Structure 1
Amino acid sequence: MPKALHPIAGALALLTILTFWTATVLSELLGPATAVVTVKTLIPWGLILLIPALMVAGGSGFALSKGESAQSIQGAVDAKRKRMPFIAAIGLLVLVPACLVLAVKARAGAFDVTFYAVQAIELVAGAVNIALLGLNMRDGLRMTGRLRPRSA
């Protein structure tokens, strides 16, 4: 079961964060203030999908890596395992609080210096998590043979 759930949960988590990030950038750059308010108030509801997806991806990945002893993929397993604490920490310590603060401020129409400072931090942290999750996906695809290893 973890073998089937892991790639689905990981892809869902990555796509969810990517959707949050893209919606934020597009609403800020191209949309009226009402679009920003809508995006910022919907993102916390998306956590209902994102948090379980990350938990399933992390838990199933940990379970799958326990039985893995092949030297050919051990480096990828170790790399994925090392990235996960950073992904979790950025999510729990930066992204979740930032999205909640931004939702409250957006609903109140408080587009002030604090809003944009938190927004900038959220966008940078989100980009880092997208990159880390993307690296984990790449390594997972290489481990399963769905993506060829990079040639030297």
Structure 2
Amino acid sequence: MIVAFLAVTLSTLGGGAVADAGTSKAVVWYGVKWLVVALAAAGMTGKAMCRGRPGGLAAVKFRRMKIVAANGILILVPCAYLLYARTQVAPVNGWYAALQIVEIAAGIVNLALLAANMRDGLRMRARRIQ
């Protein structure tokens, strides 16, 4: 979902059409709700699989997820809402562009952290199979 959000956002950057920006921001804003649910479910299942206090790679994954959650709650969700709301009432301007850059950067950070968690999860699974 994060890759899709970034793709939708980046696809409208070059075009400059306000209607396209409004549509892309609506897609992201309405999709964020599903992403929050998916990330919460992933965190809860990961915690349940660790059964107690995690160690090793699991502890590293939990630290990353705390950053992902904070980034999402403090930066990505507010940016998604503000950008969506802005495209509904006013033309795209410098403020919008600056906020868009913040959203893209925070999205890339979360994508990288989640990819690292996926990599470590696959490593943990490989160890368990052996």
Same-fold call, TM cutoff 0.5: yes
Moved more, 108-117 or 47-56: 108-117
Matched, 1:50 2:31: no
Q: Deviations over 1:43-66 (max 9, x none)?
A: 111023111101100111111112
Who is 1:121 aligned against? 102
Give 1:7's aligned residue.
Answer: none
Matches within 5 A, 1:20-99: 20-30=5-15, 32-66=17-51, 74-99=55-80
Aligned partners of 1:21 and 1:123 also within 8 Å:
yes
Q: How far off is 1:128 after superposition?
A: 0.2
- SS of 2:56 mapped into structure 1: helix
Report the CA distance between 1:67 and its aligned residue: 5.7
1:18-73: per-residue Cα shift (whole Å, max 9, x none)? 1101110111124633221100112111023111101100111111112688xxxx
1:118–1:45 CA distance, 2 compared to 1 (3 A): same
User: Does residue 97 of structure 2 align to residue 112 of structure 1?
Assistant: no
Gaps of 5+ in 1: 1-15, 147-152
Distance 1:31 1:142, change over 3 A: farther
2:124 is the alignment partner of 1:143: yes
Once the two structures are superposed, residues 87-129 of structure 1 have per-residue CA deviations (whole angstroms, 9 ceiling, x without a partner) of: 0000000000000000011112421121111101000000000
Alignment gaps of 5+ in structure 2: none
Count the aligned residue pairs.
Answer: 127
Asked whether the 8 Å contact 2:18–2:91 carries over to 1, the reply is: no
